[in-house]
């Protein structure tokens, strides 16, 4: 069982959190360069963000369907960032996780790391009676992933890896305001293909409870 050092930042500005991740990643990779060894130092950030759209380095800006003036109107910001994946939304009511860990220490590759992240989210939402799975050709966690019409994404995943040290991570829709997805094609898919735990169950969910469940599942699966 892994022993991640969780840090709950509450509601924090996206750019501040991104800068913090970059600083921590630099510290860890610098240490690896000097010691030439894998490190058990890690930090697993749990956070919610004010309304923000982020576009991954391989993403298509056409999937942002709103201009700068409209983003101001809905109190949202926009960043082009250095993770994989296309465009996604972060906002209050969404649990975002940023593991900063050394994959060499855990003896896993990038693909396995992402698959384990998906497994941990699948195990987390299973506690709420939701059956998650993977959709062929797409990352993240989906409900009814094989259904041509009803497949809907509940968790987006996009990571960056430098010298086998990770940053960025997952975004699980818990009590997310789903209207904000109307202004993007999330991860290149139509906005109708997105859901949340609250939307599926028809009631608000305790974010603190989801965090505690997620911690247990991530520790077990890694």
Catalytic residues: 187
3-state secondary structure 80-119: ECCCCCCEEEECCCEEEEEEECEHHHHCCCHHHHHHHHHH
Which of 128, 114, 127, 123 lies closest to 156, judged by CA? Answer: 114
Task: Judge whether 54 and 81 are in contact, CB under 8 Å.
Answer: yes
Collect all residues with Cβ–Cβ distance below 8 Å to 7 and sequence separation of at least 6. 43, 44, 45, 46
């Amino acid at each position: 069982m892994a022993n991640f050092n969780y840090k709950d930042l509450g509601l924090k500005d996206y750019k501040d959190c991104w800068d913090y991740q970059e600083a921590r990643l630099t510290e860890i990779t610098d240490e690896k360069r000097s010691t030439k060894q894998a490190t058990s130092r890690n930090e697993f950030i749990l956070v919610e963000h004010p309304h923000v759209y982020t576009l991954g380095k391989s993403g298509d800006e056409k999937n942002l369907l709103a201009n700068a003036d409209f983003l101001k109107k809905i109190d949202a910001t926009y960043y082009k960032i250095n993770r994989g994946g296309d465009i996604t939304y972060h906002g209050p009511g969404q649990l975002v996780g940023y593991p900063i860990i050394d994959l060499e220490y855990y003896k896993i590759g990038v693909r396995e790391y992402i698959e384990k992240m998906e497994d941990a989210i699948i195990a987390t939402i299973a506690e709420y009676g939701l059956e998650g799975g993977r959709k062929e050709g797409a990352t993240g966690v989906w409900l009814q992933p094989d259904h041509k019409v009803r497949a809907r994404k509940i968790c987006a995943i996009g990571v960056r890896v430098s010298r086998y040290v990770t940053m960025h991570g997952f975004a699980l829709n818990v009590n997310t305001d789903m209207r904000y997805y109307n202004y993007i094609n999330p991860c290149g898919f139509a906005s109708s293909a997105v859901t949340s735990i609250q939307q599926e169950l028809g009631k608000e969910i305790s974010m603190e409870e989801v965090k505690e469940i997620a911690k247990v599942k991530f520790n077990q699966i890694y």
